[in-house]
Amino acid sequence: MNASLDILPLSSWINTDGKPLVIAGPCSAETEEQMVESAVQIKNEGYAHVIRAGVWKPRTRPGSFEGMGEAALPWLQTVKKETGMPVAIEVANPNHIELALKYGVDILWVGARTTVNPFNVQELADALKGVDVPLLVKNPVNPDLQLWIGALERFNRAGVKKLGAIHRGFSNAQENKFRNSPMWPIAIELKTLFPQLPIIGDPSHMAGKRALLFELTQRAMDLNYDGLIIESHRDPDKAWSDAAQQLTPVALGEMLHELHVRKKSYGDEYQTQLEIIREKLDHLDRELLETLAARMSLVEKIAEYKRDNNVSAYQVDRFREILNTRAEWGNSLNLFPNLVDELFKLVHMESIRKQTEVMNQVSA
């Protein structure tokens, strides 16, 4: 199936004066005073375009603070009056959408725990038919690009054209640095499939702690993300949820000021040099593929030998040897260890598939 989305450009539904979109505000709307004070401070810093707040909070276990619900929506009306800025909240069911629209919420987003369930997504999409409101869709909790795409397609088919994606990272049992693993290639692939789709980075939920926010935010800017959604609270250490990952409005402004925002395109003076470098890359990629094809020819010979000697295709000791030696070779060449590891896992598994195919063809 060809990938396509009929959506409007980000610039057509919000004006950022050519700068990356910044959506900032507390993780949760706790009190009207807290919400208004945080929003006014963010407004005064001058970097944000939209104020965000959690009204309904999906929590892993009952008993945690799950948001103030409808009671917080009038506070957001006050925020709009005090700051003149649009407001955004998360919605998880059709009733949330109905209430958000009733109180004049300007932008909606769908959370990671909702995106993962196509039934929930379809209910929301049905509720948004005929509604002209921007919608941002967070990636699902698990690293499944097709689920993310499916959610975007469901909303788009329901008529939502002011549509964007939020990259907030993925659950990963092996991660020990970030709260949620960024897994940047998944978001990059989404952008490759849908170049017109705005991608908003959510460093707060990737990081889990404020010390890591700059690193993740800069990476999003390096990858030409269209904006950021980031948590900011007037007194983060006293926040009722996700205290460790929030910044004060002033601290957030200081961090954003330090960012290096890359150009999305380059001028004519760079064109010729870039084309020369890219041509060299194209030649090297061709050589890589030719080398891989030569490797697979040797794999076929191995398959024939194993067949003649009644040896199984998969040899665990050989697999371990390949991973260990290639890691050493890669390290000596200053290559990123994860790249080498994942590359040779793929190459070896393809070799096993090829061997099995050849052995079965011969024996048929």
Beta-carbon contacts of 329 under 8 Å, excluding residues fewer than 6 positions away, are 340
Residues of the chain with CATH 3.20.20.70: 10-258
Nearest 5°: phi and psi at 136? Answer: -115, 135
Instruction: Identify the pLDDT of residue 269.
Output: 57
pLDDT confidence of 117, banded at 50, 70, 90?
very high
CB 53 within 8 A of CB 72: yes
Instruction: Identify the pLDDT of residue 270.
Output: 59
Which of the residue ranges 76-85, 110-119, 272-281 would you say has the lowest mean pLDDT? Answer: 272-281
pLDDT at 41 over 50: yes
- Each residue's pLDDT tens digit, 259-295: 988 766 555 555 677 787 887 788 788 888 888 888 8
The CATH number of domain 268-363 is 1.20.59.10: yes
Question: Looking at residues 146-151, what average pLDDT do you find?
Answer: 97
Instruction: Identify the pLDDT of residue 278.
Output: 81
- Each residue's pLDDT tens digit, 3-16: 689 999 999 999 99
Give the position of tokens 């990059």. Answer: 188
Q: Would you state the structure tokens that stand for residue 334, as one six-digit string?
A: 């200053």
pLDDT at 101 over 80: yes
Q: What angle do CA 356, 358, 363 make, to 5 degrees?
A: 95
CB 176 within 8 A of CB 149: no
pLDDT at 364 over 50: no
Q: Is 0.85 topped by the overall pTM? A: no
Residues of the chain with CATH 1.20.59.10: 268-363
pLDDT confidence of 49, banded at 50, 70, 90?
very high
The CATH number given to 10-258 is 3.20.20.70
Instruction: Identify the pLDDT of residue 357.
Output: 87
Question: Looking at residues 215-244, what average pLDDT do you find?
Answer: 94
3-state SS, the chain, equals CCCCCCCCCHHHCCCCCCCCEEEEECCCCCCHHHHHHHHHHHHHHCCCCEEECCCCCCCCCCCCCCCCHHHHHHHHHHHHHHHCCCEEEEECCHHHHHHHHHCCCCEEEECHHHHCCHHHHHHHHHHCCCCCCCEEEECCCCCCHHHHHHHHHHHHHCCCCCEEEEECCECCCCCCCCCCECCHHHHHHHHHHCCCCCEEECHHHHHCCHHHHHHHHHHHHHCCCCEEEEEECCCHHHCCCCHHHCECHHHHHHHHHHCCCCCCCCCHHHHHHHHHHHHHHHHHHHHHHHHHHHHHHHHHHHHHHHHHCCCCCCCHHHHHHHHHHHHHHHHHCCCCHHHHHHHHHHHHHHHHHHHHHHHHHHHC
Residue type, 149: I
How far is the first Cα of the chain from the last one, in angstroms, to the nearest whole number? 34
Q: Cα–Cα distances in Å, from 90 out to 160, 176, 330, 356?
A: 16, 27, 44, 49
- Each residue's pLDDT tens digit, 287-337: 888 888 888 888 888 888 888 888 887 888 888 888 889 889 888 888 888
Report the mean per-residue pLDDT for the chain: 91
Q: What angle do CA 81, 51, 162 make, to 5 degrees?
A: 105
Which of the residue ranges 32-36, 69-73, 104-108, 330-334 would you say has the lowest mean pLDDT? Answer: 330-334
CB 144 within 8 A of CB 171: no
- Each residue's pLDDT tens digit, 163-176: 999 999 999 877 77
Q: What angle do CA 221, 251, 265 make, to 5 degrees?
A: 15
Residue type, 144: D
CB 47 within 8 A of CB 248: no
CB 248 within 8 A of CB 232: yes
Instruction: Identify the pLDDT of residue 319.
Output: 81
pLDDT at 362 over 70: no
Question: Looking at residues 214-224, what average pLDDT do you find?
Answer: 93
How many angstroms separate the CA atoms of 180 and 208, rounded?
8
Q: Cα–Cα distances in Å, from 299 out to 165, 215, 236, 347?
A: 42, 42, 58, 11
How many angstroms separate the CA atoms of 113 and 59, rounded?
10
